[in-house]
Amino acid sequence: MSAPTVRRRRLGAKLRALRGDLTLEEVSERSKGTFAVSKLSRIETAKSAAKAKDVEQLLDLYAKLGRKVSAELRAALVILTKEGAQRGWWHSYRGVLTPVHEDLISLEAEAESVCTWQLGVIPGLLQTAEYAREIIRTTAMSEAVEAKVDALVEIRLARQAILTRDSDPLTLWAIISEQALRSTTQTADAMDEQLGRLLSLGKRPNINIQVLRSGAPLHVGQLGTFTVLGFGPHADLDVVHTEGLTSLLYIEDHDKVAVHRDAYQRLTSAAESVEASAKLITEIRRKNNT
């Protein structure tokens, strides 16, 4: 049995919420045997992948029982189910990626928006190849990772296609600490190229970049970096992820996701405006070249 993915857990949690105070036995009985209790349990707990047909039948049943199943919610859950069964480009890197990082890439590919706060580095979705290579090498804490640097750089750059795709490019809002912009790389050209890329991508209508100055008053972002992945009108499908040296943690609880969204709003207020941030990045880049 494959390990539950974030995507399957999100689907299961939403179906569980729609079930409300009904027991699994009651749902099974009202489905007239279409859904066995064990099958319902496996879907809700993400122990097995659901089929789109099963999800649609469950939604039909819950709608008849008076649950609020809007057309938008139905479409979101069915797409979530279907896309969960598809193999993305990242599956060809299965010998390189851990399952949790495969989850992250698949969530990015499905998300409508990403709001990320980065304290020490440029966000991966905005990195150049040389900057990515240096960051990956610098943060590699095992020989196994060091041996995969080239492949990991390829993956990082491939992830960025979601920003420039023709159909519904991802909306990215990135808040970056001034410290990350002023960090030095092994070659000055690498940082110059990276800052230039931020300025270039920041001109796209789907990308907003803000800088949080080093001298800003104490703020919630000092507790650590995090990213909120948004999935449109249904905030209860949103996911937060935080990453450390040896782990990547997903936060799916609705109330905890909401706390991170509130924290992000505070950071947008504390940071320089998008226009002022572009000027600051230009200034830092100019000083680096003098």
pLDDT at 33 over 50: yes
Distance CA 208, CA 273 (A): 10
| 6-84 maps to CATH 1.10.260.40 | yes
pLDDT digits (tens, 9 = 90+) for 73-105: 898 888 778 765 556 777 788 788 888 888 888
- Per domain, the residue ranges of the chain are 6-84, 94-288
Q: What pLDDT band is residue 2 in, cutting at 50, 70 and 90?
A: very low
pLDDT top residue among 158 and 6? 158
pTM: 0.81
pLDDT number for residue 86? 57
Considering the four listed CATH numbers 3.30.870.10, 1.10.10.10, 3.40.50.300, 3.40.140.10, the one that applies to the domain covering 94-288 is: 3.30.870.10
- Write phi, then psi, for 203 (nearest 5 degrees): -85, -15
For the cut 90, the answer to whether the pLDDT of residue 192 exceeds it is: yes
Nearest to 100 by CA among 216, 9, 224, 197: 9
Q: Which residue has the higher pLDDT, 143 or 131?
A: 131
Q: What is the pLDDT of residue 1?
A: 36
Bridge partner list, 211 = 176
